[in-house]
Chain A
């Protein structure tokens, strides 16, 4: 039983980690907690659904199309809304992301209705790839873990081995210094939003088959992802991954040993605890910002 719990924890943790990563990429780049992240992912998931089920594209093409769409969505969100903010402060930014969230939610509801659809992906929730007496691993489980690993590896390569990644890291640390070293910091921020949106979209595609495809499908996963990000430390990418996995584990253990009904509350309890004990998160280094 415990091994099955671990599998479930790993799968849930992978999805939380992806959502947390998508939030963390933007937070690191701009210190904006992007509350539209979930709806951006939901919208991109609808695009997958349309490409796949309505237009009948093969899965890989549909996935590629979704990622392109997600990137543009993130980039344009930064370009059209965030960059226009005059004399911005944090509260203003939060309101902008909340506003964008509502716009996307409304658009999705109007266009696709609030009726729930089923979503056929090549990895199904019911097909079993691997089974022993104590563990069942479904296709969806495997796909979640593999995709999460691929995304993390991709992000690592991007940040550590490309010029773009270097520019992203430099802009995160000191925008002014990045500018006078010739980095177009506005464009880099837009690209960061795009990449974050891609990571979110992949999480959305993984969430849709286990819940249902409807405009509010990302509410719960987003809050979990947010909790994971706070737990790991919003500014540490490896921290939020560990935060996601930890949250998946704690939640599943709690659900099994203590109470299934209150499983969802664990995430909020964790946010509270972290804020009481170590507000910067488990893995974030506190470094002092020079004025």
Chain B
């Protein structure tokens, strides 16, 4: 569905993405894992055309169509929904207005109304606060609003950037349940996460990113049993004998 080939992205003169390639298979959940500053969000921003004049190199194909270098609103109109890191709801607009902004590209007014009703039944907390300013909502409610807003675009591909950020463990579980549910409705999902545990629970395919390139990738079930991934991303130590410098050295040889 989405194929990224050899993307290089620069901030000013600093190369942030080092020629990364990956694919998002239709109907699946693909997750990109990595620490702060690994380049995960930059990858998403590059796909969505949110960084001016980037990528410098590489191609991005969405359903066979090259979209690199296009304006963001044109990319969105192809049927992509985006839930950004930190939610970015319109704080001075009501919940309803926020959801309607998500449907800006759609011209089928009646269907938009129906979708609005449907999405509100998925998120009952939003239904009770339909007329309130989005800035007044709690973090979890804002996250749901951001997801609902992206769904209003009737996307075939939903892209989420750190949906677990800043939420309580109970809410994180709830949000990931929702993501799984959305995927079951036939929407392909590309997920960026720091919370590896949760990501492994829902994802079909996992890519691990460090310093602007992928160091490991594969089906979630396979990667989950990889010793290094278990140790460095899931925090499970099986072999106590490797410590300190040796461990660092082993990790370093990944690249």
Contacts and interface: CB of A to CB of B under 8 A. Distances in A.
A88 interface: no
A167 interface: yes
B48 interface: yes
B93 interface: yes
A183 B86 CA distance: 20
Interface in B181-235: none
A192 B92 CA distance: 19
Nearest to A179: B72
Contacts of A113: none
A214 B12 CA distance: 48
A278 interface: no
A177 interface: yes
B104 A177 contact: no
Interface residues of B, number: 24
Given A170-B90, A173-B91, A174-B90, A179 B104 contact: no
A183 B101 contact: yes
A89 interface: no
Given A179-B73, A183-B73, A173 B104 contact: no
A163 interface: yes
Chain A interface category by residue count: 10 to 19
A261 B92 CA distance: 44
Interface string B28-53: 00000000000000000000101000
B88 A182 contact: no
A107 B153 CA distance: 47
Interface in A167-194: 167, 169-170, 173-174, 176-185
A184 B71 contact: yes
B50 A180 contact: yes
A166 B76 contact: no
Contacts, number: 66
Contact of B101 (A176, A178, A184, A290): A178
B100 A166 contact: yes
Given A163-B104, A178-B101, A179-B72, A169 B93 contact: yes
Given A163-B104, A166-B97, A166-B101, A179 B90 contact: no
Contacts of B101: 166-167, 170, 178, 181, 183
B84 A180 contact: yes
Nearest to B86: A290
Interface string A256-291: 000000000000000000000000000000010010
Interface of B: 48, 50, 71-73, 76-77, 82, 84, 86, 88-93, 97, 100-102, 104-105, 149, 153
The list of the 6 closest CB pairs from A to B, nearest first, reads A182-B105, A182-B76, A179-B72, A177-B88, A184-B73, A180-B82
Interface of A: 163, 166-167, 169-170, 173-174, 176-185, 287, 290
20 contacts: A163-B100, A166-B100, A166-B104, A169-B97, A170-B93, A170-B97, A170-B101, A174-B88, A176-B50, A176-B84, A180-B48, A180-B50, A180-B84, A181-B153, A182-B76, A182-B102, A183-B101, A184-B73, A287-B92, A290-B86
